[in-house]
């Protein structure tokens, strides 16, 4: 099988991200041979290596789609500041793609840019939609919830909320519903207070709590 035949079969998969083992099974060759084929296709600019054993065809939402591939076998979706930006709630473009996952927290450098994975418990994993590019993207409400839920973690990476503009269509009840699922009381109260300040303002929230 020549390289162009291999490329056509890879493209027929209809996915942006894939692993060497996937191509080996598709082409009925050994993983070593699949790696050679993919390396040659990469030199020709037809595919791009993300990390060891992981590749992308370079779709419009390449890094966002690739995030799920790199998180495998655990599910993942784009969230936090990256999703808030995509929904138009913040203006500053995050330099790193922030992703929620059931796997371990880690940061991966790829030719498409850095991807930062952050672990959520299974009961808090969800609240995403699939974009036209095929990437899983948190709703604006879930992205905000994820940000507040992860704010107290040791890294303190999400301790400071970027300036956010909330549209009138923002569904506060959705963020509150996710908050109700938090098992730990102190973390749940922390997120409730953060959401209340965003919704009502610091002074209004203080008056509300004093009643």
Quick one: which of 64, 67, 135 has its CA closest to 101?
67
Examine the domain organization and report whether 84 and 164 are in the same domain: yes
3-state secondary structure of 84: helix
Examine the domain organization and report whether 8 and 100 are in the same domain: no
Please state the rounded mean pLDDT for residues 193-209: 75
Q: Which distant-in-sequence residues (6+ apart) come within 8 Å of 94 by Cβ? A: 81, 82, 85
Give pLDDT tens digits for 96-112. 999 999 999 999 988 77
Examine the domain organization and report whether 100 and 191 are in the same domain: yes
Q: Which distant-in-sequence residues (6+ apart) come within 8 Å of 139 by Cβ? A: 83, 87, 127, 128, 129, 171, 174
Range of the structural domain that residue 149 is part of = 62-210
Lowest mean pLDDT among 28-37, 166-175, 199-208: 199-208
Element (H, E) at 50: strand 48-51
Give pLDDT tens digits for 8-40. 898 888 777 889 999 999 999 999 999 999 998
Q: What is the pLDDT of residue 195?
A: 96
More confident residue, 42 or 81: 81
Examine the domain organization and report whether 44 and 126 are in the same domain: no
Q: Which distant-in-sequence residues (6+ apart) come within 8 Å of 124 by Cβ? A: 146, 149, 178, 181, 182
57 pLDDT more than 90:
no
Angle between helices 31-43 and 20-27 (to 10 degrees): 110
Examine the domain organization and report whether 186 and 117 are in the same domain: yes
Q: What is the pLDDT of residue 48?
A: 85
Examine the domain organization and report whether 17 and 83 are in the same domain: no
61 pLDDT more than 70:
no
For residue 157, count other CB atoms closer than 10 A to its CB. Answer: 17
Examine the domain organization and report whether 98 and 157 are in the same domain: yes
3-state secondary structure of 100: strand
- Residue 73 CA to residue 110 CA, distance in Å, equals 18
For residue 181, count other CB atoms closer than 10 A to its CB. Answer: 13
Give pLDDT tens digits for 115-164. 999 999 999 999 999 988 788 999 999 999 999 999 998 777 887 888 88
More confident residue, 180 or 165: 180
Phi-psi region for residue 158, left (φ > 0), alpha (ψ -120 to 50) or beta?
Answer: alpha
Q: What is the pLDDT of residue 137?
A: 96
Q: What is the pLDDT of residue 202?
A: 64
Please state the rounded mean pLDDT for residues 81-91: 91
Examine the domain organization and report whether 33 and 84 are in the same domain: no
Examine the domain organization and report whether 126 and 169 are in the same domain: yes
Examine the domain organization and report whether 26 and 84 are in the same domain: no
Cis status of the peptide bond prior to 31, with omega within 30 of 0: no
CATH number of the domain residue 25 falls in: 1.10.10
Q: What is the pLDDT of residue 136?
A: 94
More confident residue, 206 or 9: 9
Examine the domain organization and report whether 80 and 95 are in the same domain: yes
Examine the domain organization and report whether 206 and 109 are in the same domain: yes
Number of domains in the chain: 2
- Residue 25 CA to residue 21 CA, distance in Å, equals 6
């Amino acid at each position: 099988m020549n390289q162009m035949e291999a490329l056509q079969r890879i493209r027929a998969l209809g996915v942006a991200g894939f692993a060497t083992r996937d191509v080996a099974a598709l082409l009925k060759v050994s993983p070593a041979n699949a790696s050679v084929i993919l390396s040659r296709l990469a030199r020709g600019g037809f595919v791009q290596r993300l990390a060891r054993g992981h590749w992308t065809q370079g779709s419009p939402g390449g890094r966002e789609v690739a995030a799920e591939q790199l998180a495998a076998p655990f599910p993942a979706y784009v969230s936090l500041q990256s999703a808030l930006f995509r929904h138009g709630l913040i203006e500053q473009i995050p330099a790193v793609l922030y992703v929620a996952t059931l796997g371990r927290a880690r940061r991966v450098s790829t030719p498409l840019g850095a991807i930062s994975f952050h672990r959520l418990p299974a009961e808090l994993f969800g609240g995403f939609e699939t974009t036209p590019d095929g990437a899983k993207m948190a709703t604006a409400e879930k992205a905000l919830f994820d940000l507040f839920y992860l704010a107290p973690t040791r890294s303190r990476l999400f301790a400071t909320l970027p300036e956010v503009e909330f549209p009138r269509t923002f569904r506060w009840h959705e963020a509150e519903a996710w908050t109700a699922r938090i098992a730990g009381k102190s973390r749940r109260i922390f997120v409730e207070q953060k959401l209340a300040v965003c919704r009502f303002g610091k002074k209004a929230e203080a008056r509300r709590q004093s009643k």
